Structure 1
């Protein structure tokens, strides 16, 4: 049951990708390190949010500004001996896809933005006496972004960044009690700073119009994951996670968009503040129960929660907290192959946006995920 539940818990929590912090797409779980023997897996996810808002007391409607998206992750774990394990994980830690439909009359109709990322994490785990293990490794992360902003139907700003690859690290420790399928793992993921070069185009009809080649730094923030599970009765497992992310480290502040002209920022033009930033860190909770029905079938239900802050948000990320419920099922197709599927419903927290005072309420989304794991 332990191997099945490890895979199913991770998929149930992340079915259709994460939603914490607005741009988070991966929970950065290290669960693969605890699979038995040699193991490989591939996971696919999809999330279809429905996010829309209004201004002027409902007179102008934004339409659905958050298109659906997909995610991919791969993992391989090698047991070197009784004490050492190695793992390599590919995931997409952050991402964004924003598209305000044109022709709605909403003040920023036509605005679009994307963030793309890919990361490879290499981990090593060392098992010590008394069921304690320590692990750590390096993460290589590649990120790029684009934005095209409209106001009153006219395009006034465009951003196209370079693709930058930079490095961070992972450290953690775990305690296990195999006879009751208990495990607690605490993992720290370092921040990663990306120094972008960018092309910014300003077309406001003013003297500052032009194309500017600029530079800015964005930090993908540090995080702490607490993952846990324990048997509570025969064939039944309690499992969950607590994830803290230092989102106040994250902002996107291109020079021509953010600053007024000065000696320090000669490319400054619009002076509109950060394009994207967050005023609060997040703590995301997941808790659920898994049950093995027979030698082939297991199921799980998971509940997720992230606090609603009530503070204004940016127009490119008009969400504030969430509640979710996930269902997952795992089928042991052969002795070495298991297939796990999950669905997730997310009640997206209401938000009021900066500047426009847009009211984004009553929004939600559906996600699904599929994972195939092979022990060999």
Structure 2
């Protein structure tokens, strides 16, 4: 039987569409990507940068706790702006990778990426400032991944394995008490700063038939346990001892723990006609690991348990917490790629990401259209440019009771369908 030439070779059309993956559920930004491992060149350097601009705006904001006197309340903020509040900031995602073939059967890659992140910045002048003024989370991931391939039938089977080291840091500012409204000179703003690191691993399988541009792969990425989260709770914006709070007015070293999620991703691509390729993917991410993340005074470590204070754990050293209450995420994507000639290729895709919010927050379903183009002026250089336009679906955030404890009780708000846009550019050098 004569084998067809589908033209696109081992190119993965999804690599043209980096912009579509940078606005997914939970804290995902760049996520994990090992497509570089499959490049047929002996040595490859690949770099990319993506800018994402989500336009989420909040409406009908209400301060839910209007008691003026601490510690029972934090002030009545309902006289502040409550419509069209821009919640999200634009952000950059960077990636750099190097791949080498070690003989005929072994390929290895090393890469730097920024898989997780968040940046909410409503500012201090809005009716929900007691919930958030600014929150920013960033990450750095350093990974090594290798594969061993051997003939199976008409194609090759790859066994994939690797490890990665991850750093996560961030802060959250919010209005603890509206002290200026009570005549105090203090700002009333508190700040939580934290950082931690951990290790993870990945394993997977891939099957390829090069002549048909066919490849299917499944890869598992482990959770990364951040058991060593440490930082400070800065309450110097409050008078010392306000409302009987012994931590008011001072900076307190704190600690906590979290687990960045594990995930499983299935990818598929195949040539369907000369110069044409279809591709798709399904990914599950265990965002439900991130519920309420308590932080406790370092001085109490070992003396009290640092767990979420709720009906099942009424005694806890928790001073503050980051409340997410996420559910598991699902991302489904499909698209088509086409090679126009020896220099130009293009691709388009549609992606659905299931929202992970469960009553608080703004992470609802997202639909994203992506398109990308690849230009190869020589056999050693490839330039890629892609863009995406997405719909952030509407919803609301209200108080939720879980395990006898209220969450999202400081403020409530609605949000309409909003837009997110992204652009990504990359350079690949092969030799």
Larger Rg belongs to: 2
**Which of 137, 154, 158 is the aligned partner of 2:191?**
158
| 2:74 is aligned with 1:70 | no
**What is the rounded CA distance, in whole Å, between the counterparts of 2:413 and 2:10 in structure 1?**
44
The match for 1:93 is: 115
> Cα offset for 1:16?
6.3
- The answer to whether the Cα contact below 8 Å between 2:212 and 2:271 also exists between their aligned partners in 1 is yes
The reply to whether residue 206 of structure 1 matches residue 257 of structure 2 is: no
Q: Does 1:241 align with 2:281?
A: yes
1:239-275: CA deviation from partner (whole Å, max 9, x where unpaired): 1211110001124322379866999634x345xxx41
- Tell me, yes or no, if structure 1 residue 231 matches structure 2 residue 286: no
Residue aligning to 2:403: none
Alignment of 1:1-376 (within 5 A): 1-2=7-8, 5-6=11-12, 8-12=13-17, 14-15=18-19, 17-37=21-41, 38-55=43-60, 60-61=82-83, 63-108=85-130, 111-130=133-152, 131-150=156-175, 155-162=188-195, 164-194=196-226, 195-202=228-235, 205-208=242-245, 209=248, 210-251=250-291, 252-255=293-296, 265-266=316-317, 268-269=318-319, 274-308=321-355, 311-314=358-361, 318-353=362-397, 354-355=408-409, 356-376=411-431
Q: Which moved more, 1:100-109 or 1:184-193?
A: 100-109
Q: How far off is 1:11 after superposition?
A: 3.7
Contact 1:16 1:46 in 2 (8 A): no
- Decide which moves more: 274-283 or 128-137: 274-283
Unaligned runs of 5+ in 1: none
From the superposition, tell whether residues 229 and 166 of structure 1 become closer, same or farther in structure 2 (CA, over 3 Å).
same
Distance between the aligned counterparts of 1:54 and 1:82, measured in 2?
59
User: Which range is displaced more, 199-208 or 70-79?
Assistant: 199-208
Shift of 1:110: 6.6
Kindly tell me: are residues 45 and 345 of structure 1, through their superposed partners in 2, closer, same or farther at Cα, counting changes over 3 Å?
A: same
Distance in 1 separating the partners of 2:92 and 2:263 = 23
Length-normalised TM-score, structure 2: 0.79
Question: Does the 8 A contact of 2:9 with 2:213 survive in 1?
Answer: no
> Structure 1 residues 62, 101: closer, same or farther in 2, change over 3 A?
farther
Tell me if the contact between 2:139 and 2:169 (Cα under 8 Å) persists in the aligned partners: yes
SS in 1 for 2:11: helix
Are the equivalent residues in 2 in contact too, given 1:44–1:370 (CA < 8 A)? yes
Instruction: Give CA-to-partner distance per residue, 1:41-64, whole Å, 9 cap, x none.
Output: 000100011111112599822521
* Partner secondary structure for residue 60 of structure 1: coil
How big is the shift at 1:216?
0.6
Distance apart, 1:307 and its partner CA: 2.6
Deviation at 1:279, TM superposition (A): 3.3
**Residue 107 of structure 1, CA deviation:** 4.6
Between 29-38 and 96-105, the greater mean CA deviation after superposition: 96-105
* Count of residues in correspondence between the two structures: 366
Q: 2:158 and 2:132 mapped to 1: Cα distance?
A: 51
Q: 2: distance between equivalents of 1:310 and 1:221?
A: 15
Distance 1:276 1:104, change over 3 A: closer
Question: 2:48·2:426 contact (CA, 8 Å) conserved in 1?
Answer: yes
Q: Distance in 2 between matches of 1:106 and 1:62?
A: 12
Shift of 1:311: 3.3
Distance 1:181 1:295, change over 3 A: same
TM-score for the superposition, normalised by structure 1:
0.90
2:98 alignment partner, SS class: strand
Cα RMSD over matched residues?
2.6
- What is the CA–CA distance in structure 2 between the aligned matches of 1:19 and 1:278, rounded to whole Å? 19
1:114-133 per-position Cα deviation (integer Å, ceiling 9, x unaligned): 11111011011100221111
